[in-house]
Copies of this chain bind each other. A is one copy, B any other.
Amino acid sequence: MIQKSKIIIKTDGYLDVTNITPMVMNEVKGLDVRDGNALLFCAGSTAVITSIEFEPGLKRDIKKYFDRLFPHAEDYAHNIIANDDNGASHLLSALIKPSFSFPVIDGVPILGKWQQIVFIECDMRARTREILLQIVS
């Protein structure tokens, strides 16, 4: 059986981190699943979904250190050719990917004690994001 659901969030621009775990937990509860294989996927090339301990320190560390991987202010060919500002956003999304897979056991997403599922906005501007949750069970 394949079931699906949607999570919609508003983000605050470049490297804003949103904890989507409560929403994911809630959607999983609303579906009919005991053991399942779940995929979160955001259609978009400047989006990232991953997991981290969601606390203020790491939110700041992500802003600093993910930008250090691909500094947003450099002269990306993408920015020059497309007269755009988000070359770094595309590279980060290609590096980390806009999806996250996790197991559901006995109706509950399996996560570590300090582990939350997060959406990381890589685009420069605030956006509304639609995240698809698909569960095979």
Interface residues of A, Cβ cutoff 8 Å to B: 2, 4, 35-37, 39, 41-45, 47, 50-53, 55-58, 60-62, 64-66, 69-70, 76-82, 87, 90-91, 93-103, 105, 110-112, 114-116, 118, 132, 134, 136-137
Could you name 23 residue pairs across A and B whose Cβ atoms are closer than 8 Å? A2-B35, A2-B37, A37-B134, A41-B101, A41-B110, A44-B115, A45-B53, A51-B94, A52-B91, A52-B94, A55-B81, A57-B76, A57-B82, A57-B87, A58-B78, A58-B90, A61-B78, A61-B91, A62-B94, A65-B91, A95-B96, A97-B100, A99-B101
Q: Residues of B contacting A100 with CB < 8 Å?
A: 97, 99
